[in-house]
């Protein structure tokens, strides 16, 4: 019996070894073929994504990666379903082994594994979306990126405010019943910044608006998100929005006939009657910029924040069936104000904390174990979001927003 | 099975006979035949559904699993982790104690390691932290296995449901602590722990171990051999088989069944704790509720497919991890969704399990002359 096992093991290893050699040969011959074709387009960009295209969050990245690589004519290698563990480091190093000049990862928990990979391959550029540590790690080849999505959220909030006003005018609700519901993932600054900017946008149009937030404790959990949305609807919220990555909240709204302002991309096809508009980050401009810089050996910023101007912050088409009349025009008008600086999303005149207007606030910009506030972020009458690092750090609990559960 | 007995007086078309006399080489021939048959079926499905060349797909799978030294080490690491958990559940299974709580036991072991690294990483010397990590994670895993064992031994509760539910409790406890120890407030991600001091890290210097998985592989290799001898040659291993065969026989033979159940589950949980320790302290240096990654359930299959023999488990876990690694590569190269590789893996495993039927039973067709009548 043992002899047979030994023979089998030998067969397995020989097959494996042969296959490995075969694989390597194929690899090298392919590479030489590429080299002879064109010297400039042999650049490879590698991408690491937490889930696959079934998650709205990752789909947004996958589409951007494909578009950026196609626009620049570079080879695109995508690894999906990479967990936030050492497998991320293996995936990043494997992409570097394959000759990628740039490796990009999309999930917050990938950050430390990307940093570890960056230290092993100093000549390969490693870019990480949503991370917070590039400005303190000070590696030449490790970079963070995000976008001023709070501006997109604010504009989406304007659409929500328009809808609330329409409901009040039509007598469907009283002014004091203009309550928005919001499904959030975690009590993390990125989410807080998102719902607060959305709420401020809505309140700039509908002054009587209030909001309730229900957290799910997960970035992607369809059942929990649907339950949270239903809870909010039962609490008499008349309009919903969400910051979590499944279709849970939008479909709950469609089932209940409650208008929804979506995120990450359009949910119009599944929710034709209730989808108003969606904000999202378009990663294509950043990916193009980073790939180009890596190709030409130019420096990539440690922190890069996309804006409305770089077309990194995008809104989908407004769905006229659900939105109030004139929404698109109003969004265009406010967008102009944001771009020319006449409107600031976190204008300290537009919100209070514990009934008081803020003149000064120190945010936790540099990551440390005790969440030490380290940077003054209020100046010139507004909160400077995403300026001292790309990832959001607005974590104030402003008046008018009620958090139903804080335990995540 | 499909025997047709409606027509009375007629012998059914075929009947199934248990066989015990099949020589080893024949049974392996059947198994290899099953794998080949499954690959052919998969090839047909690949062509029908995707139009891609199946040979290329298989080639890519092999390349994805063993195509570079780094990939081979990642494969070995994957095998080691799965194998370690399979080793852990095996003594319990041999005792007919259906421990499907390995996922939770691994997580609790990992949480124990995480706690030591975070709480003592800055105050105690690094070697001492590592000792604490090892001891605490083993204790945590063992306790998580012990709880259902006590209930089973004294009140005969259903261990399948009990261990299953303990998984969910463990996942929630880990979520809770990832919130408490979040590196950025409220986002439930713990950054690499003790990244500067490496306190509590189980590792060899990079000069010996370039890819960082050697120690894990060595430890699990040693555990595999130990478990083989424990089950096959030790008195305790024998007691486990007797309790598994029949509790009453065990009682008449003077074996303390309660003691065996509790002792075996402590071993099972402790080994899961080792797996959790290897994952947290030896590999990831952080924890998430997904750290066990479903291995606690896959390990059940590994153990069963190998008929609870630790040496065969090397092969079965290699097969499964090889398929997983290969599958990831085909989703990258061919742009096929991961579900597609799950389909292929499913078909191959189905055939392998199915082949056991033909090894244990033979099909006897009714004699020709009966047919002629």
A75: three-class secondary structure by DSSP: strand
A239 neighbors A181 (Cβ within 8 angstroms): yes
- Residue B272 has, within 13 A of its CA and on its CB side, a CA count of 39
- My answer on whether B206 and B290 are in the same domain is yes
Percent share of chain A, pLDDT over 90 = 82
B207 domain-assigned: yes
pLDDT for res B130: 96
pLDDT for res B9: 59
Phi–psi pair at A353, nearest 5 degrees: -120, 125
Q: Is B293 on the interface with A (CB under 8 A)?
A: yes
- Using the predicted structure, report yes or no on whether residue B229 has a pLDDT greater than 60: yes
Angle between the N-to-C axes of helices B235-245 and B214-233, in degrees from 0 to 180, rounded to the nearest 10: 70
CATH number of A149-280+315-403: 3.40.50.2300
pLDDT for res B10: 66
Q: Higher-confidence residue: B252 or B366?
A: B252
- Using the predicted structure, report yes or no on whether residue B135 has a pLDDT greater than 90: yes
pLDDT band of residue A71 (cuts 50, 70, 90) is very high
State the greatest distance between any 2 C-alpha atoms of chain A, in Å, as a whole number: 85
Burial tier of B255 (Cβ tally within 10 Å: 0-12, 13-18, 19+): middle
B371 domain-assigned: no
Angle between the N-to-C axes of helices B69-94 and B102-120, in degrees from 0 to 180, rounded to the nearest 10: 120
Burial tier of B49 (Cβ tally within 10 Å: 0-12, 13-18, 19+): exposed
- My answer on whether B21 and B124 are in the same domain is no
Q: Report the gap between the CA of B125 and the closest CA in chain A (Å).
A: 20
- Using the predicted structure, report yes or no on whether residue A53 has a pLDDT greater than 80: yes
Q: Is B209 on the interface with A (CB under 8 A)?
A: no
Q: Which of residues 42-81 of B touch A (CB under 8 A)?
A: 59, 62-63, 65-68, 70-72, 74
B146 domain-assigned: yes
Q: Using DSSP bridges, classify how beta strands A313-315 and A303-306 pair: parallel, antiparallel or unpaired.
A: unpaired
- My answer on whether B226 and B128 are in the same domain is yes
pLDDT for res A328: 95
Q: Kindly list the strands in the beta sheet with A313-315, ordered across the sheet, starting from the edge strand earlier in the chain.
A: A313-315, A275-281, A260-263, A239-243, A179-184, A210-215, A401-403
pLDDT for res A36: 39
- Using the predicted structure, report yes or no on whether residue B21 has a pLDDT greater than 50: yes
Check A364 against B318: CB less than 8 A apart: no
Q: In Å, how far are A157, A258, A274, A404, B199 from A182, measured between CA atoms?
A: 12, 12, 15, 10, 41
User: In terms of CA atoms, which chain A residue is nearest residue B189?
Assistant: A109
B8 domain-assigned: no
B355 domain-assigned: yes
- My answer on whether B294 and B173 are in the same domain is yes
Q: In Å, how far are A175, A189, A243, B42, B187 from A196, measured between CA atoms?
A: 20, 10, 12, 51, 17
Q: Report the gap between the CA of B288 and the closest CA in chain A (Å).
A: 8
- Using the predicted structure, report yes or no on whether residue B5 has a pLDDT greater than 60: no
pLDDT for res A407: 66
Q: Which residues from A are below 8 Å from B183, CB to CB?
A: 367, 369
State the residue range of the domain holding B200. 76-308
Q: Using DSSP bridges, classify how beta strands A313-315 and A275-281 pair: parallel, antiparallel or unpaired.
A: antiparallel
- Using the predicted structure, report yes or no on whether residue A35 has a pLDDT greater than 80: no
B117 domain-assigned: yes
pLDDT band of residue A408 (cuts 50, 70, 90) is low
Per-residue pLDDT averaged across B47-65, rounded?
Answer: 90
A165 neighbors A155 (Cβ within 8 angstroms): no
- My answer on whether B41 and B187 are in the same domain is no
pLDDT for res B186: 82
pLDDT band of residue B341 (cuts 50, 70, 90) is confident
pLDDT for res A384: 96
pLDDT for res A23: 38
pLDDT in tens, B268-305: 999 999 999 999 999 999 999 999 999 999 999 999 98
- My answer on whether B134 and B32 are in the same domain is no
pLDDT for res A262: 94
CA dist., res. B142 & res. B109, Å (int): 8
pLDDT band of residue B8 (cuts 50, 70, 90) is low
Q: Sign of the CA dihedral A390, A391, A395, A399?
A: positive
- My answer on whether B167 and B247 are in the same domain is yes
DSSP letters, A183-227, are: EES-SSHHHHHHHHHHHHHHHHH-TT-EEEEEE-S-SS-HHHHHH
Q: Is B188 on the interface with A (CB under 8 A)?
A: yes
By Cβ distance, the residue of A22, A80, A186 closest to B331 is A80
Q: Report the gap between the CA of B71 and the closest CA in chain A (Å).
A: 8
- Helix (H) or strand (E) holding A19, with range, is helix A2-37
- My answer on whether B234 and B336 are in the same domain is no
pLDDT in tens, B349-373: 899 888 888 888 888 887 655 444 4
User: In terms of CA atoms, which chain A residue is nearest residue B56?
Assistant: A23
Q: Report the gap between the CA of A119 and the closest CA in chain B (Å).
A: 13
Strand partners of residue B195: none
DSSP letters, A285-338, are: HHHHHHHHHHHHT----SEEEE-TTTT-EEE----TTTSPTTHHHHHHHHHHHH
A397 neighbors A354 (Cβ within 8 angstroms): no
Q: Which residues from A are below 8 Å from B175, CB to CB?
A: 217
Domain ranges of chain A: 149-280+315-403
Percent share of chain A, pLDDT over 70 = 89
Radius of gyration of chain B (CA): 24
**Among A64-68, A170-174, B154-158, B323-327, which is the least confidently predicted range?**
B323-327
- My answer on whether B244 and B279 are in the same domain is yes
- Using the predicted structure, report yes or no on whether residue A37 has a pLDDT greater than 60: no
Per-residue pLDDT averaged across A271-280, rounded?
Answer: 95
Q: Which residue has the tokens 């494969």?
A: B75
B296 neighbors B102 (Cβ within 8 angstroms): yes
B252 domain-assigned: yes
Check A81 against B28: CB less than 8 A apart: no
- Using the predicted structure, report yes or no on whether residue A299 has a pLDDT greater than 80: yes
Per-residue pLDDT averaged across B75-84, rounded?
Answer: 97
Q: Is A59 on the interface with B (CB under 8 A)?
A: no
Check B67 against A367: CB less than 8 A apart: no
Check A20 against B175: CB less than 8 A apart: no
pLDDT in tens, A242-266: 998 889 999 999 999 999 999 988 8
- My answer on whether B98 and B220 are in the same domain is yes
Check A364 against B66: CB less than 8 A apart: no
By Cβ distance, the residue of A20, A80, A217 closest to B66 is A20
- My answer on whether B302 and B326 are in the same domain is no
Quote the number of domains for chain B: 2
Q: Is A19 on the interface with B (CB under 8 A)?
A: yes
Q: Which of residues 60-79 of A touch B (CB under 8 A)?
A: 77-79
Structure pTM?
0.87
- My answer on whether B302 and B341 are in the same domain is no
pLDDT band of residue B26 (cuts 50, 70, 90) is confident
Radius of gyration of chain A (CA): 24
Q: In Å, how far are A14, A30, B59, B236, B308 from A18, measured between CA atoms?
A: 6, 18, 11, 43, 31
Mean pLDDT of chain B: 91
B142 domain-assigned: yes
pLDDT in tens, B276-286: 999 999 999 99
CA dist., res. A134 & res. A266, Å (int): 31
């Amino acid at each position: 019996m043992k002899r047979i096992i030994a023979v089998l093991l030998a067969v397995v290893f020989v097959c494996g070894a042969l296959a490995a050699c075969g694989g390597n040969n194929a690899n090298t011959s392919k590479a030489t073929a590429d080299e002879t074709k064109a010297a400039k387009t042999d650049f490879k960009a590698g991408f690491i994504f937490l889930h696959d295209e079934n998650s709205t969050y990752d789909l947004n990245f996958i589409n951007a990666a494909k578009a950026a690589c196609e626009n620049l004519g570079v080879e695109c290698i995508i690894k999906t379903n990479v967990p936030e563990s050492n497998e991320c480091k293996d995936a990043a190093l494997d992409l570097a082994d394959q000759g990628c000049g740039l490796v990009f990862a999309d999930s917050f928990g990938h950050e430390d594994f990307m940093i570890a990979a960056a230290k092993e391959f100093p000549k390969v550029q490693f870019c990480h979306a949503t991370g917070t540590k590039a400005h303190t790690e000070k590696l030449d080849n490790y970079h963070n990126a995000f976008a001023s999505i709070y501006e997109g959220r604010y504009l989406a909030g304007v659409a929500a405010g328009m809808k609330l006003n329409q409901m009040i005018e039509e007598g469907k609700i009283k002014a004091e019943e203009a309550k928005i519901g919001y499904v959030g993932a975690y009590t993390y600054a990125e989410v807080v910044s998102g719902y607060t900017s959305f709420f401020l946008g809505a309140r700039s149009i509908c002054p009587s608006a209030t909001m309730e937030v229900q957290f799910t404790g997960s970035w992607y959990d369809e059942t929990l998100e649907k339950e949270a949305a239903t809870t909010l609807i039962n609490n008499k919220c008349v309009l919903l929005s969400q910051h979590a990555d499944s279709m849970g909240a939008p479909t709950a709204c469609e089932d209940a006939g409650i208008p929804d302002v979506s995120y990450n991309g359009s949910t119009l096809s599944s929710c034709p009657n209730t989808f108003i508009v969606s904000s999202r980050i378009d990663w294509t401009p950043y990916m193009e910029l980073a790939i180009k810089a890596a190709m030409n050996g130019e420096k990539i910023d440690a922190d890069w924040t996309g804006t409305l101007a770089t077309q990194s912050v995008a809104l989908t088409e407004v769905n006229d069936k659900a939105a109030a009349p004139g929404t698109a025009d109003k969004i265009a008008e406010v967008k102009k104000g944001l771009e020319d600086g006449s409107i600031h999303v976190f204008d300290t005149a537009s919100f209070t904390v514990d009934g008081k207007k803020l003149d000064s606030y120190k945010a936790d910009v540099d990551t440390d174990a005790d969440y030490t506030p380290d940077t003054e972020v209020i100046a010139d009458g507004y909160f400077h979001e995403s300026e001292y690092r790309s990832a959001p750090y607005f974590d104030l609990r402003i008046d008018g927003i009620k958090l139903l559960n804080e335990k995540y | 099975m499909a025997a047709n007995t409606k027509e009375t007086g007629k012998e059914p078309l075929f009947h199934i006979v248990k066989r015990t006399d099949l020589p080893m080489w024949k049974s392996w021939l059947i198994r290899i035949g099953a794998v080949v048959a499954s690959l052919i079926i998969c090839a047909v499905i690949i062509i029908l559904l995707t139009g891609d060349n199946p040979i290329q797909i298989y080639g890519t799978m092999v390349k994805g699993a063993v195509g570079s030294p780094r990939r081979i080490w990642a494969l070995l690491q994957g095998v080691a982790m799965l194998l370690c958990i399979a080793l852990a559940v095996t003594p319990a299974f041999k005792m007919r104690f259906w421990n499907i709580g390995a996922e939770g036991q691994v997580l609790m072991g990992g949480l124990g390691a995480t706690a030591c690294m975070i709480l003592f990483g800055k105050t105690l010397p690094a070697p001492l932290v590592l000792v604490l990590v090892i001891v605490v994670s083993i204790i945590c895993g063992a306790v998580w296995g012990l709880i259902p064992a006590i209930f089973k031994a004294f009140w005969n509760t259903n261990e399948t449901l009990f261990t299953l539910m303990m998984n969910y409790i463990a996942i929630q406890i880990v979520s809770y602590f990832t919130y408490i120890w979040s590196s950025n407030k409220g986002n439930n991600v713990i950054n690499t722990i003790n990244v500067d001091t490496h306190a509590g890290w189980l590792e060899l210097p990079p000069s010996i171990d370039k890819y960082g998985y050697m120690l894990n592989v060595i430890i699990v290799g040693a555990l595999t051999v130990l478990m083989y001898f424990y089950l096959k040659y030790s008195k305790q291993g024998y007691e486990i088989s007797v309790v598994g065969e029949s509790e009453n026989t065990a009682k008449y033979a003077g074996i303390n069944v309660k003691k065996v159940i509790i002792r075996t589950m402590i071993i099972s949980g402790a080994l899961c704790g080792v797996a959790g320790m290897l994952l947290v302290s030896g590999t990831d240096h952080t924890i998430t509720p997904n750290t066990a990654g479903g291995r606690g359930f896959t390990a059940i299959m590994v153990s069963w497919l190998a008929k609870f023999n630790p040496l065969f488990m090397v092969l079965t876990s290699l097969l499964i991890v090889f398929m997983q690694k290969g599958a990831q590569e085909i989703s990258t190269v061919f742009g096929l969704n991961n579900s597609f590789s799950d389909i292929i893996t499913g078909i191959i495993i189905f055939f392998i399990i199915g082949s056991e039927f033909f090894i244990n039973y033979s099909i006897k067709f009714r004699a020709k002359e009966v047919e002629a009548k």
